[in-house]
């Protein structure tokens, strides 16, 4: 028996095996993005003194005015930096369920120091683990109110589509700044 054909078959087998192992390494599923450890804390906005009633009402006045101009019937609420209700406005004809939803959106924005749209985006991309956390609303329309680099409260709007709620909430945030 000639040793050369055996060596050639052995070399071929190693080449095939090596190619297969190399393919297995490149075809491995990507690492879980949740395993990435950031250098800095995300959404690390310190809490500040609670938003005042006057400023909360100014935020709500701007939001309600924007909604009226567009013909949308919404509920808008402002909570302070401790997650407590400061003021709420229910427009004529707005659905009753939106009262608690608006408050809950603002509470989510205060507690997690981020817009509720972040949760919506994560859920839509398959990262549903956040729905296991208390007080999460994964629907846009909740936005923190930040003054001098500190979170002093949040606005939550509900009653339209998520994008309508967000537009009206942003009108309130713009008036706050």
Contacts (Cβ under 8 Å, ≥6 apart) of 109? 115, 116, 142, 143, 144, 154, 155, 156
Query: Is the pLDDT score of 126 beyond 60?
Result: yes
Average pLDDT estimate for 149-177? 97
Output b/e per residue, 30-47; b: 16+ Cβ within 10 A: eeeeeeeeeeeeeeeeee
Asked if residues 163 and 67 have their Cβ atoms less than 8 Å apart, the reply is: no
Q: For position 15, what pLDDT does the model report?
A: 52
Mean pLDDT score of the chain: 88
Residue (of 116, 123, 127) closest to 162 by Cα position: 116
What gap in Å lies between CA 150 and CA 49, rounded to an integer? 8
pLDDT in tens, 22-69: 544 555 666 777 788 888 888 889 899 999 999 999 999 999 999 999
| Burial category of 91 from C-beta neighbours within 10 Å (exposed 0-12, middle 13-18, buried 19 and up) | middle
The pLDDT value recorded for residue 150 is: 97
pLDDT of residue 31: 75
Print the SS3 string covering 100-169: HHHHHHHHHHHHHCCCHHHHHHHHHCCCHHHHHCCCCCCCCCEEEEEECCEEEEEEEEECCCHHHHHHHH
pTM of the model: 0.79
Q: Of all residues in the chain, what percent carry a pLDDT higher than 70?
A: 82
- Res 177 pLDDT > 70: yes
Question: CB atoms < 10 A from the CB of 152, how many?
Answer: 22
């Amino acid at each position: 028996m000639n040793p050369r054909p055996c060596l050639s078959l052995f070399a071929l087998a190693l080449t095939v095996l090596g190619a297969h192992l190399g393919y297995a390494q490149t075809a491995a599923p990507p690492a879980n993005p949740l395993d990435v450890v950031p250098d800095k804390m995300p959404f690390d906005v310190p809490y500040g003194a609670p938003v005042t009633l006057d400023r909360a009402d100014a935020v709500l006045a701007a939001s309600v005015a924007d909604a009226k101009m567009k013909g949308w019937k919404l509920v808008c609420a402002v909570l302070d930096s401790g997650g407590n209700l400061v003021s709420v406005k229910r427009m004529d004809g707005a659905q009753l369920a939106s009262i608690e939803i608006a408050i809950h959106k603002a509470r989510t924005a205060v507690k997690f120091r981020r817009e509720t749209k972040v949760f919506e985006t994560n859920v839509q991309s398959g990262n549903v683990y956040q729905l296991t956390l208390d007080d999460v609303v994964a629907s846009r329309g909740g936005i923190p109110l930040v003054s001098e680099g500190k979170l002093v409260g949040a606005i939550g709007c509900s009653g339209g589509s998520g994008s309508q709620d967000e537009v009206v909430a942003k009108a309130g945030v713009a008036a706050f700044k």
